[in-house]
Structure 1
Amino acid sequence: MAMDSPRIYCIPASEAPVIAVFRRGPSKWFHVGRWDLTQQTYEPGAWLHGRIYPRRSDLSPDGRFLCYFAHKPNATWEHGETYIAISKLPWLRAIYAFGTCGTWTRGYYFIPPDQSDEHLKIDVPFPYNLSSIPVVQFANERHRGWTETADSPLRQPNDLWDEHRNARLYKIQPEGHRILYLESLGLAGGEFGEDQAVDGMSVLYSMQSNEGIEILDAYQWADWDLQGNLLVATRSGKLQVNQVEDNGLRVVFEVDLSVMDPDPLPPPSWAQN
C-alpha cells in the first residue's frame, strides 16, 4: 500500500462534467485518472514510469481527449524522450504525437477546429486543433475562468518564464458569493522535488466569504464546479466534492488516491484507436 501522500493536479473539461486527474508518486511514476462529477466516480487509468508535466497539458472541452507533455528517459520511439501526445482519457496510448526540443517546451491547448496556431502546422485526427500554451503563471487556470487580482505582483520585462514573482488569481463561486484565491509560493516554476509541488510550483489556496478570508492550506488543488461546489485535491491525497454551506464545507464525495501503487496495465481497445 502506498504510504507517502501523492502530488495531485487536476484539469477540468470546459464543456463537460469531467476532470483529468494527474497523480505523481512514487516520484518516478505518474498516474492519470478520470473524475466524473455527474456519476460521482473515479476511473483509474494509465501509469507512466516517467514524468508528465500537468500544467503544460490540457483536456479537450468535451472531456474525451488528453494532450500531455511527457519526459520518458528510456523512450525508444521515433519521437524521442520528450514529446507531446494525444490520448483518450484516462489512458496515455498516443493516437497522435510529436517530439519536442526538450523540457522547456510549453505544451499545447485544445482550440476549436476553425482556429489555428501559426507556429504549429499539423493535421490532427480529432475535432480540435492545438495551440501553444502561453508562458505565464497558472495558464491552465486562466484558460478556465481565473483572473489575476489587482494586487498581484507585476511581471518584470526580463522575467521570460514568469517565475520570479508570486502571481495571485481569483475565481468567483458560480451561483454564490464566495471567492476562491490561488497564489504561487517561493520561486514559481523552480521548486522541483519540493513536497506537493507539481511542475515545480508550490501553491496556496484561500476562500473569501462574508466572515473573512480562510486559508485552505490542506488543499493542493481546488476549483468550483458549475453548481458552486468546491472541488479539491487534499494534501493527504484525496479528491473531494464539498458542498458549501453557511456553517462551512460538507464533503459529499470522496476518493482516496494515496492508497494506490503503480499498476501499469494495457489500455482497453477503445483507447488504442
Structure 2
Amino acid sequence: MTPRPPSCRLYVLLAAAAPTALIMRRGPSAWWHLLTWDLQAGEVSSGAWLRGTLYPGRSAISPDGKLLGYFALGHGRHPWDTYFAVSKTPWLTALAAWHTHGTWTGGCEFAADNSLTISASMDSRPFHGRYPYGATVGSRTHRQNAWRPLAGEAEPIPPSLRSAVLLRRVQPDGEHALVAARTGGARPHYLREEAGGGYTPLPEAAWADWDRRGRLLMATHQGVVKIVERRSGAWAETWSRDLSGLTPDPAPSPSWARAW
C-alpha cells in the first residue's frame, strides 16, 4: 500500500531554559499554524493561524519559550510585505516589527536576558511597536547550538548518508546521542546513536531533539509529535499527539498577547 502523503509539515523550536517548545505547522497549502507544546504537562495549545509564508529555520524562541522572533512574507501592503517581528508564543501579533528588504535573512537569536540579535537586510528601527529588551540589527548571529560536527568515528553510518553533513547532539546526562545527516537543502535524516555502539535510523522523524530531561522528542513526517523514553532497557513511546487533521480556524489573539 502506498503511504498517504502528509497533510502538513511540522517544524519545532525548542526553548533552551524551559520545558516548552513551539510547533510551527504548515498545511493545508499556504496556511501556517502555531502551537505551544508544554513538555512538562504533556499538552499542546493552539495559537495563531496565518495565510502567508513563515521561515522556521530563520526564527527562534526566547530561552523561556515565551517570545517568538520570526520572519514572514505576509503578502500585505508595504511595510507588511516582508518583515521580521517579535510576538508572544503561540501568537503572531507583532509587538515590534522591522521591514526587511526582500527575503534575505540569516536568522535571529535570543540571549539569556531576551536581548535579540537579527541578521538580515532590514531597517535598523522598527516601523511598528518597540522591543524593550534591546535588539541588534544587521549582525551575523552565532546561535548557541548543542549540535556538534560528528568526528571521524562515523563508520557505522549508512553508506547513503556518509557524504552528508553530520551533526551530533548528546543526550543530557545520558549515554545516547542523536545524529542529524543533512544533504543539500533537504530536511535532515535522523539516527539515534546507541550506548553500546551503532546507529538506529529514525525514518519517521522530520525533526528530533532531546529535552532537558533526556527524553527523545520527535515530530514525524505524518504530522505527529511524540515523546520517546528509555524504559526497562528499551525505547518506548510515552506520549503523542496527532496534528495532521487540523483545519484553518483563525481567531484574534488574546489581550495578553497584544501588549508588553
The answer to whether the Cα contact below 8 Å between 2:118 and 2:136 also exists between their aligned partners in 1 is: no
Give the corresponding residue for 1:54.
56
Q: Calculate the aligned-residue CA RMSD, in Å.
A: 2.6
Structure 2: gaps (5+ residues): 154-162
Q: Structure 2 CA distance, aligned partners of 1:250 and 1:132?
A: 44
Aligned ranges for residues 1-273 of structure 1 at < 5 Å?
A: 4-73=6-75, 75-76=76-77, 78-113=78-113, 121-122=124-125, 124-127=130-133, 129-130=135-136, 134=140, 143-151=144-152, 166-185=164-183, 187-188=184-185, 201-209=186-194, 210=196, 212-245=198-231, 247-273=233-259
For the structure 1 residues 263 and 115, does the alpha-carbon distance in structure 2 shift closer, same or farther, using more than 3 Å as the test?
Answer: closer
> Structure 1 residue runs of 4+, over 4 Å off?
112-124, 130-135
Please state which structure has a larger fraction of its residues in strand. Answer: 2
CA separation in 2, counterparts of 1:178 and 1:126? Answer: 40
Residue 115 of structure 1: CA displacement?
6.7
Q: SS of the residue aligned with 2:200?
A: strand
Q: Deviations over 1:117-140 (max 9, x none)?
A: 5988558534354566858xxx8x
Cα 1:234–1:134 change in 2 (3 A) is farther
CA distance in 1, matches of 2:211, 2:43: 15
**Residues 112-121 or 83-92, more deviating:** 112-121
| Structure 1 unaligned spans of 5+ | 153-164, 189-200
Q: Describe the SS at the equivalent of 1:97.
A: strand
Shift of 1:146: 0.9
Q: How many residues align?
A: 239
> Once the two structures are superposed, what CA deviation does each residue of 1:47-91 show, in whole Å capped at 9, x if it has no partner?
110110001000011111000011122x12x42311101100000
Between the aligned partners of 1:252 and 1:129, the Cα distance in structure 2 is: 40
Query: TM-score w.r.t. structure 2 length?
Result: 0.83
- Flag the 1:118–1:143 CA change in 2: closer, same or farther, 3 A: closer
Using the size of structure 1 for normalisation, the TM-score is 0.79
Q: Which has the higher contact order (CA 8 A, sep 6+)?
A: 1
1:112 CA displacement: 4.6
Give, in whole Å, the separation in 2 of the partners of 1:232 and 1:45.
20
2:160 matched to which residue of 1?
A: none
